[in-house]
């Protein structure tokens, strides 16, 4: 009643707190034993690998869609299938990427349905606005090919970073409706438990501004972290070896003492002549520049022969006979037109293609691709021919 706890109440509270701490510690230890836990350094390592990987993939996607592609810094979290269903737009495209060399495992790349339509339209030469209709096999095949090239270049970057060869199998794309009650194990077994999610923000020009995801099983994430850490430790040891100072050079052995010379009778050295340089002194080199200026120089105007224009007006005749036997391709062009990839894919027997030539207009004659003449079509017995009506001189 006076607000002071008794010793029994204090002991009860301490026992309750101790039991909660032991329960939490046991749960954490179990998660650590299963490998389903990531430390802060693990997340940083996975984020660094994903950043380099998707940066290279973005460069490849730029070459495919001819639009500026930007991918933000990855965010690494841990989630479950229910989290994906609640947070992500539906339906969406799941692309399974399996590693066959260097890494053992697979991961899933998740794209929104509308983003796949835009990327596919850009790959086919469109402007990215043809997104009507349902997502079909053509879209899935196109995005699979795009991901094959993107993740292939990504695997090359990983090979350089991890110092080992890494390769992937062709990606497989499927349209998944998250709104339906479905068994996540039918997509991949690791989706039934907790897994690692890496989120990126992707911008493609002014057409796409959305989020893409990579889903890793814990085993694959752990393998990625170990490979990254081993590479970093190996690089650190190599750097330390390079920075280690070279051992100091060993002192050279002292030369053996020269034997003592017997004294010999000597004669006094001759005295130098007056003005001569004493012996043992360095020889003074003469100043060549002064000697050159002291020599007389004779300057004369240049002499040229008389110029005779008539004597230099000779032109070598062209010997065209040397190339008379060279074959040339002659092409008769009835007309031209421009079609999109979609229109070409719609070609079928009976399709009529309208050309830019009007009926009765002369046709073009080209030699090795160069426009040289105009003509008209004639029939010679059972073959077509061309009668030249005009030679193009330009």
Cα-Cα-Cα-Cα dihedral sign, residues 8, 11, 15, 21: positive
- Buried/exposed 91-127: b ≥16 CB within 10 Å, e otherwise: bbbbbbbebeeebebbbbbbbbbebbbbbbbbbeebe
Buried residues in 186-203 as b, exposed as e (16+ CB within 10 A): ebbebbeebbbbbbbebb
Please give the distance of CA 337 from its chain centroid, rounded to a whole number. Answer: 36
What is the architecture of the domain spanning 328-336+355-394?
Roll (2.30)
Domain positions in the chain: 33-238, 328-336+355-394
Q: Give the pLDDT confidence score for residue 318 in this predicted structure.
A: 56
pLDDT along the chain (394 residues), means of 10: 61 60 45 63 86 85 86 88 80 87 84 89 85 85 87 84 84 81 76 88 88 87 84 56 49 51 50 50 50 59 66 55 81 89 89 86 89 90 89 82
Top-level class of domain 33-238: alpha beta
pLDDT at 331: 92
**pLDDT of 237:** 43
Distances (CA, A) of 27 to 24, 32, 60, 88, 144: 5, 9, 43, 29, 41
- Copy the structure tokens of residue 274: 């007056």
**Pair of tokens at residue 249:** 């050079």
What is residue 1's predicted lDDT score, i.e. its pLDDT? 46
Q: How much is the pLDDT for 206?
A: 87
pLDDT tens column, 303-335 = 766 666 555 554 555 566 767 778 888 999 988
Q: Which residues have C-beta within 8 Å of that of residue 174, sequence separation ≥ 6?
A: 93, 94, 95, 96, 140, 187
Sign of CA dihedral 54, 55, 59, 62: positive
Q: Which residues contact 177 (CB under 8 A, 6 or more apart)?
A: 90, 91
Spatial contact of 129 and 205, defined as CB atoms under 8 Å apart: no
**3-class state of residue 374 by DSSP:** strand
Q: pLDDT digit string (tens) for 190-237? A: 888 888 999 988 899 888 888 888 888 888 888 888 888 887 776 544
**C-alpha distances in Å from residue 72, one per residue of 51, 161, 210, 311:** 8, 20, 11, 76
The alpha helices in 246-324, defined as continuous H runs, are 288-294
Please give the DSSP secondary-structure letter assigned to residue 247.
P
Q: What is the pLDDT of residue 18?
A: 52
Does this model's pTM top 0.75? no
* pLDDT the model gives residue 43: 87
**pLDDT for position 268:** 53
Does the fold of domain 328-336+355-394 match that of domain 33-238? Answer: no
């Amino acid at each position: 009643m006076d607000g002071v706890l008794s010793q029994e109440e204090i002991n009860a509270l301490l026992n309750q707190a101790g039991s909660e701490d032991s329960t939490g510690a046991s749960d954490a230890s179990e998660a650590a034993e299963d490998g389903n836990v990531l430390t802060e350094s693990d997340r940083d390592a996975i984020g660094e690998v994903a950043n380099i990987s998707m940066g290279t993939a973005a460069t490849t996607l730029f070459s495919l869609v001819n639009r500026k592609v930007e991918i933000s810094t990855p965010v690494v979290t841990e989630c479950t299938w229910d989290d994906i269903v609640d947070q992500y737009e539906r339906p969406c495209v799941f692309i399974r990427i399996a590693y066959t060399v260097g890494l053992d495992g697979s991961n899933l790349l998740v794209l929104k349905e509308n983003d796949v339509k835009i990327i596919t339209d850009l790959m086919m030469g469109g402007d990215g606005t043809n997104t009507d209709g349902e997502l079909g096999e053509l879209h899935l095949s196109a995005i699979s090919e795009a991901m094959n090239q993107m993740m292939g270049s990504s695997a090359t970057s990983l090979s350089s970073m991890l110092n080992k060869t890494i390769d992937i199998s062709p990606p497989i794309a499927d349209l998944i409706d998250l709104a339906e009650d479905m068994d996540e194990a039918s997509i991949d077994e690791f989706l039934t438990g907790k897994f690692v999610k890496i989120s990126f923000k992707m911008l493609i020009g002014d057409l796409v501004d959305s989020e893409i995801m990579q889903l890793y099983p814990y085993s694959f994430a752990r393998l990625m972290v170990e490979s990254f850490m081993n590479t970093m430790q190996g690089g650190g040891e190599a750097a330390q070896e390079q920075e280690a100072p070279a051992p100091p050079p060993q002192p050279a052995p002292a030369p053996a003492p020269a034997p003592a010379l017997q004294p010999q009778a000597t004669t006094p050295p001759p005295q130098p002549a007056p003005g001569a340089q004493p012996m043992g002194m360095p020889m003074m080199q003469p100043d060549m520049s002064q000697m050159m200026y002291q020599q007389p120089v004779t300057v004369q105007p240049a002499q040229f022969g008389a110029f005779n224009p008539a004597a230099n007006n000779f032109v070598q005749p062209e010997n065209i006979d040397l190339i008379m036997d060279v074959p040339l391709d002659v092409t008769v062009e009835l007309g031209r037109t421009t079609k999109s990839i979609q229109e070409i894919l719609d070609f079928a027997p009976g399709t009529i293609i309208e050309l830019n030539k009007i009926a009765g207009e002369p046709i073009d004659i080209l030699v090795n691709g160069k426009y040289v003449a105009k003509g008209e079509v004639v029939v010679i017995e059972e073959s077509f021919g061309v009668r030249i009506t005009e030679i193009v001189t330009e």
